Chain A
Amino acid sequence: MNLKEVSKNSLKLLNNVNIVSDDIFRCLLENSVSVLSGGQELHANESLFGSEPDLMKELYANLLIAIVEFVRNGLNKEEVQQYLISECNINKKRSDVFADAYNNNKPEIQISLLNIGNHPPHITDVNWSIDFIVKSSTMDKFGGPLFRVSFTIETFNQEKQCVQMDHLNFTCNSQEMHDLVYKLKDAGRQCERIVMEH
């Protein structure tokens, strides 16, 4: 866990009560955690920055960097406090406020971090029905029930930049259904074995 010197220097600005008042500090923190949790900024930046927009822009950016780095390294509340006080020379009061905000929103930001990456579509739900055709125009006899399965798939749509639900539909007879279930169980067992071995 190591922040850049530039970031550390910038964070020292938190000690300056004239530029960063308690209210502004709280609003900045709220904005940061909200943005990092995937939401929108709660307070308008222009109203917070006041007379020193360049310093505040710098501070805001480095606050964001610090929070993300802390989460990425999995620090807990005490470690964050410790780090802020000893490495960045930030006073006790401010670092306490920071650590509180950090601790309360850590899981949300962790989820944000978890959701970076490229993954195949995920099956999240299933709808199914069993049909039994007694007779139809083309055939008199049928082998048994027909399983109609629809997997709900979640995948990330790159164009729209949002989650998209897809449906994977298929129909099978009981033999094929047995096959599918058997294979799924087999796969599950394989996974268990791998887990046992490691």
Chain B
Amino acid sequence: MDEVDNIIIETLKALNCDITEEISSLKQFDDNLVVQSISSCLEAIIPSSKFPKKLSPSMAIRLKTASYLAEQVKDIGFKDEIGYQTILYFNEIEIRRLLIFLIEKLPKDLDNFPQVREVGYVPEILSVLKQKLKTFPALWIPPQLLNRGVHIHENNFYIHSYGNSIDLNIKKLKIPSQTDANNSNNSKFYNIHILPVVTNQCTNQQLIPSLLFEDCIYSKKNKSMLDFITNIPIIGKTDESLVDNNNKIGSQIILREEIDQKEMTKEAAKPINQVLLEADNIQNISENFKVEEQKYLTLKKTVDDNQSFLNKLNLTIKEEEEILQDKTNCLKIKMKTMAILSQEENLHKLKQLVEKANSRLLDLAKQWNEVKGPLLEEYNSLKASLLEEDSVLQEKQHKFKSILAAYDEMLNDLKHKVELEQKLIEKHQQQSKNTNRSTYTKNIMEIIGNIKKQNHEMQKILKDTKDVQKDINSLTGQIERSFTISDELIFLNAKKDEASRKSYKLLVSLHSECGEIVKIVSDIGFIERECRNLQELIDIETTKEIAVKLKRLNEDLQQMKEENINLQKQVQ
């Protein structure tokens, strides 16, 4: 029964009952705990219902709650007898039966039951809206409600509009300084009476940028500086390099100004008339120069053209010369052959030479054939062997390929198996939470084993009793038979003999008495069985602890009476 209790306590804990660690069986339950567990079970079974979880000190309310709970349990379909007494004056067995029934009735998935979906159009829309509002990062807000286009929510800035953005526009602010070097009376006077406050030196929009940055160097007034700066590829990124650059730019500007000034002073020294004359001269000369230059350019062009023509002519001459040389060479060779052929001796010699050469050619051909035969054979054999080797190689390759394929397959298999293993491990880990279940099943299996054993023993006992019955039957049959035989024998003799008549009488009485004895023995057995049954009944009754309960009932009755008296007093 320990296992059953464990399961019950476990499920009750899952229903948020206050069961302490010390309680390990239903024996240790008190009536408060019983009420609590019954009401939490009922709440889980009947959604959107509420049941009292504690007994009140007042007897009357106790009775009411107990009978209310009992009624609810009956409504669910509990078939056994149940009333307030089952809950208030519970015994272990009954309460176990009740709790088992309630736990079986619990909805299968406890996670599902609190999320009871409200049905209907409006709640559905509401839930959708809620969901959307949760996920919506920046809610649309009418622009009139925004603070300069920005909405602040939980320390996050949601920028809806940059309509209020003002271009970066900087003004040079004049700020008086105590540590200023030329802190003369005049500047002090200026600072005190004339200089406006910083907030009045620029518009409100310009204030923040002007406070943060200074751009005196790059102002529009200093145009040459501006041009110079636009020609610089990259102005240094860090503040320090910016300062450096500024210094450089400054010094360069000063240099340039100095040079300009010097030139100016030089030119100013010459008389103006002379300058004008010289200017005229210069203009004339430059015009002349231009005309001459154009002439020169045209001449140069014609020269270039002629040169290129000359080059072309030269090339053609070279080609013609080459062709001429080839042709003269050809002519020379032909002349020589003609000269040789014209003499007869020469012709004869030539014929002989040709014959010799022919015979030699034949010899050589024979020789070649001799050499060629074996070599060809060898070549053929080698080729055949090569082919064989090739085929062997191919076979091997084929094998190798098949092995490779098998290897790949096995690798794939391995992968699959590893994946499967991992999945199974995950599953196993997930299932390991339900270790209780496995232990329960194990226990159930054990119990089944036990039951089987018991069944076996019962069968044995049954067989024994059957054997005994058979013995008894055979014995009674034997008695019957022996009696009838002896009865016949003695009855035959009884007509003739006085003594045998007597013995017959004795036999009859013996028979009837023996029958009585047998009857008594069987009666005793019957009574014994009845006794045993009664003993069992007594045991069951004693487990119910009626006496203790009656005592408690009496006490409660007493208490109720007292309460009633109190109430009556209060009424009076």
Contact = CB atoms under 8 A, between A and B. Distances in A.
B205 to A, nearest CB: 6
A125 B197 contact: no
B163 A124 contact: yes
Contact of B208 (A10, A55, A57, A116): A116
Interface stretch (B149-157, B266-274, B391-399, B416-424): B149-157
Interface stretch (A35-43, A88-96, A133-141, A179-187): A35-43
B5 to A, nearest CB: 55
Contact of B163 (A53, A107, A114, A156): A156
Contacts of B179: 6, 9
Contact of A161 (B152, B205, B208): B205
Interface stretch (B8-16, B119-127, B169-177, B351-359): B169-177
Nearest to B155: A107
A12 to B, nearest CB: 10
A58 B211 CA distance: 13
B198 A60 contact: yes
Nearest to A112: B208
A62 interface: yes
A158 interface: yes
Size band of the interface chain B makes with A: 35 or more
A66 to B, nearest CB: 9
Nearest to A120: B162
A154 interface: yes
B164 A163 contact: yes
Contacts of B205: 161
Interface in B480-497: none
Interface string A82-105: 000000000000000000000000
B191 interface: yes
A65 B197 contact: no
A154 B198 contact: no
Contacts of A113: 208
Interface in A62-93: 62, 64-65, 68-69, 72
Contacts of A121: 163
A152 B149 contact: no
A61 interface: yes
Contact of B195 (A57, A152, A153, A158): A57
Contacts, number: 128
A115 B164 contact: yes
B175 A45 contact: no
A55 to B, nearest CB: 7
B142 A156 contact: no
Interface in A142-186: 152-156, 158, 161, 163-164
Interface string B181-211: 0000000100111010111000111011101
A39 to B, nearest CB: 8
Contacts of B192: 53-54
B198 A119 contact: no
Contact of B188 (A54, A60, A61, A116): A54
B240 interface: no
Most buried by A among B162, B163, B166, B177: B163
Contacts of B197: 45, 57, 60-61
Interface string A113-133: 111111101101100000000
A152 B149 CA distance: 13
Contact of B149 (A9, A108, A116, A122): A122
Contact of A116 (B157, B175, B209): B209
A88 to B, nearest CB: 15
Interface in A12-41: 31, 35-36, 38, 41
B178 A152 contact: no
Given A113-B208, A161-B203, A122 B178 contact: no
B212 interface: yes
A187 B178 CA distance: 57
A117 B168 contact: yes
Contact of A115 (B142, B149, B193): B149
Contacts of B150: 111, 114-115
B148 interface: yes
B204 A69 contact: no
A85 to B, nearest CB: 22
A115 B148 contact: yes
Contacts of A64: 198-199, 207, 211
Contacts of B209: 116
B431 interface: no
A53 B188 CA distance: 10
B147 interface: yes
Contacts of B199: 31, 35, 41, 45, 60, 64
B147 A10 contact: no
B159 interface: yes
A94 to B, nearest CB: 18
B198 A155 contact: no
Most buried by B among A10, A54, A122: A54
Contacts of A116: 165-166, 168, 208-209
A115 B162 contact: yes
A117 B167 contact: yes
A55 B178 contact: yes
A68 B211 CA distance: 8
A35 B168 contact: no
Contacts of B251: none
Given A6-B179, A10-B177, A107-B152, A69 B212 contact: yes
25 contacts: A6-B177, A6-B179, A9-B178, A35-B204, A36-B207, A58-B176, A60-B197, A64-B198, A68-B211, A107-B157, A108-B147, A111-B147, A115-B150, A115-B162, A115-B164, A116-B165, A116-B166, A118-B165, A118-B167, A119-B163, A124-B149, A152-B143, A153-B163, A154-B163, A154-B164
Interface of B: 142-143, 147-150, 152, 157, 159-168, 173, 175-179, 188, 191-193, 195, 197-199, 203-205, 207-209, 211-212
Given A117-B165, A122-B162, 9 more contacts: A6-B177, A64-B199, A114-B159, A115-B164, A116-B168, A118-B165, A154-B163, A156-B163, A161-B166
Which 9 A-B pairs rank lowest in CB-CB distance, beginning with the nearest? A154-B163, A119-B162, A54-B191, A122-B161, A124-B143, A61-B198, A61-B175, A154-B161, A115-B164
